[in-house]
Amino acid sequence: MSAAGRDIADLEMIGGTQAVFPDDRSPADLGAALSAIPEQLEQGFTTFCVKPNQFIDDPDGVGEFCREVMRRVEALAS
């Protein structure tokens, strides 16, 4: 990278969650999935991928889901 004039410190580190489904019909537990975020923050990850369809079934709930994710991550990061 340095030979190309780039600095590794400029790379964005993207983390994420792992959904664990309790059965074939139920969504994954959001709290359990987000529990991996603090360790990723400590490792320098600054952006996280969370797929709403793994945690909710109603597309009309995506806005509230995103707000809930932000509330929980802010609490985990403080």
pTM confidence score:
0.82
Q: For position 3, what pLDDT does the model report?
A: 87
**Beta partners for residue 49, in sequence order:** 16
Q: Are 62 and 56 in contact (CB under 8 A)?
A: yes
Q: Where are the beta strands (DSSP E) in the chain?
A: 14-16, 47-49
- Give the angle 10-15-17 at the CA atoms, nearest 5°: 170
Cα separation, 33 vs 20, in Å, equals 8
Spell out the domain ranges in the chain: 2-77
**Beta partners for residue 15, in sequence order:** 48
- Give the angle 51-56-58 at the CA atoms, nearest 5°: 115
Instruction: Work out the average pLDDT over 16-40.
Output: 96
Instruction: Work out the average pLDDT over 47-68.
Output: 96
More confident residue, 9 or 12: 12
Q: For position 60, what pLDDT does the model report?
A: 97
Structure confidence at residue 9 as a pLDDT band (50, 70, 90): confident
